[in-house]
Amino acid sequence: MEFSSKIKKLFWLNLILLVFWLYLPTPVLADIAPPEQPPGGNPAPGMDATQVRMAAETVLIEVISATPAGSLGKAKVTAKFTMLNLGAENESLAVRFPLTSNYGSYYGYKELENFKASVDGVPLQIRKIESNYNERYTGPWAEFNVSFPSGKEVIIEVTYLVDGEGEFPFIALQYIFETGAGWNGTIGSADLIVRLPYEINRMNVIFDTEMGWSTTTAGGMVEGKDIRWHFDDFEPEASNNFSISLVMPSVWRALLREQDNLAQNPQDGEAWGRLGKLYKESFFLRRGFREDAGGQELYQVSQEAYQKAVTLLPNDALWQAGFADLFWIHWYYSESFSDRPDYTEMIRALQLLQRSLEIDPANEKAITLLDDIRYSVPEAVKEENGQYILLLLTATPTAAPTLTNTPLPPTDTLAPTNTHEPTLQATLTPKPVKPTATKIEPIPTITTTPTKSASKPGLPVCGAAILVPFVLTLWKTKRRT
């Protein structure tokens, strides 16, 4: 089969998997909604629709610094709604708020925690009911009675905790505007603020990349630790719903700690290696890498941190292999799609793997990476008589590589016994941006002897949401080894 035909099949296979990922869950944060009419029921005389309008709302989503066990990240939400009865008559309504949702998910979402509501500063009694709003938000809702005097503003405030959803090391938070569609007219204005426990930058907030389950809403203005969005006079629909993609707060806090450590001790090679790994994890997706400006910056600083680690610790086999992993995966998801690939990163990865196995011939991480490369790009590495032959270190091929029909397995399918380099997940992104690289001259060929027979590469990860809990559990298990 021709190389171009194989690449096309690989592209379409991963495109199909990406479609499945669109059904991954995101947490529900939502607007209050007026009570719905019973299915098939008639409205009471004189009450065809409520005359109460949502004149304005302010939503503050505060990402919590500490991540509780069993959570990828939590946020505290405080939402204030200015309601105005435009009618001539007073109204008393059982206002409702969704506590969960099954929309776009096979499993539904975690229920909101510690939900509270007040009117003009007075706490309200909350009832829990089952409801189905537009067949999109089926399940438990909070309900509370509110009186709306004619022509008078009423301030409703709700607070609760919500879990971020996604997969390591990324989370998404969502706010649902569309549940406010039942109020009279449009929403006059809405201000939404996301507040992080540290300075916001383009590395810890994914502004421009589709994550498969979340895309950050455009138009946010960064102010220190806050991102602010403002909307005017809109009819809330599904297209108005808000979402934001973040690096998990626990991951970013660990990264900041390593930066602080290095500010005090810049010769700590272990800290440089840990920092490079954290940058790398924040850059790679399940299959592919972040193509946004923050992602490209992460790739650069990861290289710099790893280079510091292997310079300060030249005899540490695992940091050598971890650095090779960065180059190899980046090369695979960029250059392997090219008719005339640049082998610079591949050669650098093989040089690092060669050094890693010279230090420790039993290094499972290096052996696993060589198996992945041998399986995916036979022109780069081959096994002969129990030895790995690093072909690209003698001559750089001019033809496009011959890729197997099966996508590259997730990296580090065999986790090392040392916790330097845990398993890394990735997500295919077709036609990524080609990075700039410095040409590295090949070094003489050597052979390296593995301590085990060549293993079969890991199976490709299915993108169907039904497999997500199993994949995440397996991944977390490997991270601990």
Query: What number of other Cβ atoms are within 10 A of residue 454's Cβ?
Result: 14
Q: What is the predicted pLDDT for the residue at 12?
A: 52
How does residue 101 score in pLDDT terms, banded at 50, 70 and 90?
Answer: low
Question: Where does CATH 1.25.40.10 sit in the chain?
Answer: 265-479
ω before 25 within 30° of 0 (cis)?
Answer: no
Could you tell me which CATH number the domain at 25-37+49-247 has?
2.60.40.3680
Counting other chains too, the contacts that 443-447 makes at CB distance below 8 Å and 24 or more residues apart are 443/351, 443/354, 443/393, 444/393, 444/394, 445/389, 445/390, 445/391, 445/393, 445/394, 446/354, 446/390, 446/393, 447/387, 447/388, 447/389, 447/390
Reported as a single tens digit per residue, the pLDDT across 446-463 is 333 333 333 323 222 222
Type of residue found at 353: L
Q: Decide: 59 and 175 in contact? Cβ < 8 Å.
A: yes
Query: What is the rounded average pLDDT of the residues 363-374?
Result: 93
Q: What is the predicted pLDDT for the residue at 437?
A: 31
How does residue 188 score in pLDDT terms, banded at 50, 70 and 90?
Answer: very high
Instruction: Tell me the backbone φ, ψ of residue 8, rounded to 5 degrees.
Output: -60, -45
Reported as a single tens digit per residue, the pLDDT across 291-347 is 899 999 999 999 999 999 999 999 999 999 999 999 999 999 988 777 788 889 999
Instruction: Tell me the backbone φ, ψ of residue 356, rounded to 5 degrees.
Output: -60, -45
Q: What is the spatial distance between Cα 289 and Cα 302, in angstroms, rounded to a whole number?
A: 13
User: 226 pLDDT exceeds 90?
Assistant: yes
Q: What is the predicted pLDDT for the residue at 34?
A: 65
Question: Where does CATH 2.60.40.3680 sit in the chain?
Answer: 25-37+49-247
Could you tell me which CATH number the domain at 265-479 has?
1.25.40.10
Average pLDDT of the chain, as a whole number: 76
How does residue 467 score in pLDDT terms, banded at 50, 70 and 90?
Answer: very low
Query: What is the rounded average pLDDT of the residues 263-279?
Result: 97
